[in-house]
Structure 1
Amino acid sequence: MASQFAISEAEMNEMSLVLQSNVVTDVLTQVEGMLAQMTSVTLNIAVIGESGAGKSTFINAFRGVDDDAPEAAETGVTATTQMAKAYPHPSAHNVLLWDLPGIGTLSFQPSTYLEDVGLLKYDFFIIVTADRFQECHYALARCIMQAQKKFYFIRNKVDRDLEANARRRRQKGLSDDDVLRHLRADCEKNLRMGQVETPQVFLLSCFYPQNYDFPALQMTLLEELDGHKQHALLLSLPNLSTSLIQSKRQALAGAVWQRAMVVCLSSVGASNTLHATVSKLMDTVKSYQQAFCLDEESLHRLASITGIPFKELQREVTSTFGKQLSAQSVEGILSHAVSAQRFLVTQLERRVPVLGTVVAGGISFMASYFLLTSALKNLSEDGERVMQKALFVSICKQKD
């Protein structure tokens, strides 16, 4: 237990650098500023495709939203979009997916298209198609590369291709893997013909986002972003793999000491220190619930997408932090943490002496740190159980 929740060498060094002042307000302002930088960044993702390619369905699946939800991008519309429209993530409003005007029409002019839609404001582009490669895809790829922006090519509706293959399998004898390999090879070959040296192609079905290349797309985007934009995208993604959930836990763990510090410093001088501490901790744990898609709104969205009853998904959430969060339960965990972590306080004060002065011996900091670290561990495990439930149902639906 001690090693699991002990503060790392790097965290102690970082705290030592921050805690140069004994003035509570100065330290609080500095730490709150560090946290604000992580949430103030905006990520703009451009989604391009011809009419019928499934752009809107992709935007909804990427945000973990059902096509019929009020906040969903409108699907089934045959008319070409004339204006770029932003769709914010339902709980991470700083992540925006932009549905750009359709391509492949007579009015589409590749030489001016990207300038017209505001090329430079987008962080990267996603080109969505559901049929054969077209000349407009070449043109777009070249323009995006000339602007030194990244793009990812999505071959959507592969479930439709596999269904067609199943009907003619007796004649051609192709397996599903053969079909997918052929689709990928064809897209990569065409992109190379358009002078894309290392094409990034992902085969998807937006109706079954847990399958095919959707999880791989998520991880690739994360690997190729950095800094706060990577953090923003990570926390907005629906849980489609264990790797993604563990990445969320690791990213959030890196800021636990800052959040614990804010909790403690904010409560200094409060008329009811315990109440102020508990309130701040509950706010932070609720943000963790959202990140792991375990809050009620996220579970309702998942229930709508998968058809699994909300209560059934909620039963997979077993931790106190996931379903029994209350002021009383938080106070109980804090009391346990104070007694269980006393031996760590001595170690902390020896490495960061000013902390004892600022936070009354560091016990409240250590208790908050312990509670938040425990919450991340338990909520990530809850998130994995919910994800496995959704994945199992998705596989069963495909078999049917």
Structure 2
Amino acid sequence: MFDCDWCVFSESDLEQARHQVETNGVSGIHNFLVEKTKKWKFVKINIGIAGESAVGKSSFINCIRDITADDNDGAPVGTGDTTIEPTRYWHPYNEELVFWDLPGVGTPKYPRNEKYFDLINFEKYDFFLILSDNRFSTNDVWLAREIAKRGKRFFFVRTKIDEAMENEQEIRGGDFSASAVLDKIIKDCQNNFKVAQLTDTSVFCISNYHREMWQFEELMEQLIVALPEMKRMSLVLSIGPVSKQVIGQKTKFLTDRIWQVASISAMTAAGGSVVPVPLLGGAIGVAADVTILLHEVDFYLKQYGLNDESLKQLADRTNTKVDYYVKSLKFASTLVTKRQSIKAFVIDMIKKEAVKQAEKRTFQEFARLIPIIGMAVAGGISFGTCYYFLRKTIQQFETDAVAVVDAAIRKTSEELD
């Protein structure tokens, strides 16, 4: 029996594919699938970052974009200047994802009334983050109430937790307890909200420089949930693997698109490109556009932070060497330590997977499962091989990405002890 617990071909997907065949013939499926794999890049997301001056807004914007203040388009940090106009910062991987540094409310130019929301163009934001490095001010609380009244989500974020921990440790010495300090900070914030008659409100305690610690992961989980499906996908695939929660969401969205990429590769190669695979008693040919698969694997490496650039950025941010993280890699290590080319990696994996699928004869099940796609590819073996190769690669890279995050947590914990 064909095991397809995780390979989901929705009725909507298949219906759209049938429509393409009826309207444009079999050749229409290719363009349809290519457009689906790129659709997330064209979804606009605007996130408002509010709070008073010097509370860490710029540092947060840089942190979530995986850049520093010294990089091109980095938000300036430590200038002491008050934001006087909404300032936008695009994500370097997706210009449709924009973080807005908003001016504080309660000034002559931005009064605490209806005018403020007109001046910041309130309606364009998907949700708001309200940041503070101490107690949330009356202006912060007023803003939260007004945002909720207008039907949008907001999140309170308490920054500079690393500094708070260091201060408490210096004061308490041997009696210091990180969990007790965190509980105290959260309770103080909630009491502040209660006095202001703002109920059922959570606060996320983070450090913009040690995002592996404290509640950055919980914050990211809530930000993802706050968006509708397509915007959620766009956010997850635009930002780096900033937490295990984000890594898990990346795996979900990358897995959902496997059948599209496998179909594109098999269709594109149907007229020519064949990877020969030796088998006992003969050989088979897998029609696969290797260039498409190379691009997808390279995309996975960037998504999971396993490429050279991402590992170097992480090493720099955590004050260690790249080798420290390379030691955590199990599956992607050949691409880093042995400098195996992505092309060699892909062809080797395709050959191994083709042998497995031919022996299981799962290609026949694929042809039965998706007859519309089967019309356009050079046999089920080609589609099935590409499909399982991509699925296995995602699983392996996810494992490596989690191992790297765990290594970063250990490294950060050592520094803060």
Alpha-carbon distance in structure 2 between the residues aligned to 1:304 and 1:149: 37
Change (3 A) 1:174 1:349: closer
Offset of residue 253 of structure 1:
0.6
- CA-to-aligned-CA distance 1:212-239 (integer Å, 9 cap, x gap): 1111101111122221111122223443
Q: Name the residue aligned to 1:162.
A: 165
| Offset of residue 398 of structure 1 | 0.4
Matched, 1:216 2:214: no
Structure 2 gaps, min length 5: 276-286
Distance 1:94 1:322 in 2: 31
Contact 1:12 1:351 in 2 (8 A): no
SS of structure 2 residue aligned to 1:46: strand
- Output aligned runs, 1:1-400, within 5 Å: 3=3, 6=4, 8=6, 10-11=8-9, 16-20=14-18, 21=21, 23-103=25-105, 105=107, 107-111=109-113, 112-169=115-172, 175-269=177-271, 272=273, 277-320=289-332, 322-323=335-336, 324-342=340-358, 343-399=361-417
Partners in 2 of 1:334 and 1:133 — Cα distance?
A: 55
Alignment check: 8 A CA contact 2:106 2:112 kept: no
> Contact 2:318–2:408 at 8 Å: present in 1 too?
yes
Helix, strand or coil: the match of 2:59?
helix
TM-superposition CA deviations, 1:196-218 (whole Å, max 9, x none): 33212111122221111111101
Higher relative contact order (CA 8 A, sep 6+): 1
Q: 1:380 to 1:8 in 2, by over 3 A?
A: closer
Distance in 2 (alpha carbons) for counterparts of 1:266 and 1:25: 10
Q: Which moved more, 1:93-102 or 1:140-149?
A: 93-102
SS in 2 for 1:24: coil
Mapped partners of 1:289, 1:93: distance in 2:
20
Q: How many residues align?
A: 394
TM-score, length of structure 2 as denominator length: 0.86
SS at match of 1:358: coil
Q: Which has the higher helix share?
A: 1
Q: Distance in 2 between matches of 1:53 and 1:16?
A: 49
Change (3 A) 1:179 1:333: closer
Do 1:152 and 1:200's aligned partners in 2 also have CA atoms closer than 8 Å?
Answer: yes
Question: Structure 1 residues 183 and 312, CA, compared in 2 at 3 Å: closer, same or farther?
Answer: closer
Q: State the AA in 1 paired with 2:65.
A: R
Distance change (3 Å), C-alpha of 1:113 and 1:34: same
Q: CA 1:246 to 1:183, structure 2 compared with 1: closer, same or farther past 3 Å?
A: same
CA distance in 1, matches of 2:68, 2:160: 17
Could you tell me how far apart the structure 2 residues matched to 1:91 and 1:313 are? 23
Structure 2: which amino acid aligns with 1:390? A
Residue identity matched to 1:147 = R
Return the alpha-carbon distance in structure 2 between the equivalents of residues 219 and 9 of structure 1: 24
Structure 1 gaps of 5+ residues are: none
- Provide closer, same or farther for how the CA distance between residues 214 and 8 of structure 1 changes in structure 2, counting only shifts above 3 A: closer
TM-score between both structures, scaled by the size of structure 1? 0.89
Measured at CA, do residues 313 and 68 of structure 1 come closer, stay the same or move farther in structure 2, by a change above 3 Å? farther
Bigger shift: residues 82-91 or 186-195: 186-195
Amino acid at match of 1:114: F
Question: Retained in 2: the 8 A contact 1:192–1:199?
Answer: no
Shift of 1:281: 0.5
Distance verdict in 2 for CA 1:53–1:317, change over 3 Å: same
Deviation, 1:162, is 2.5
Q: Identity across aligned pairs (percent)?
A: 27
Aligned partner letter, 1:99: D
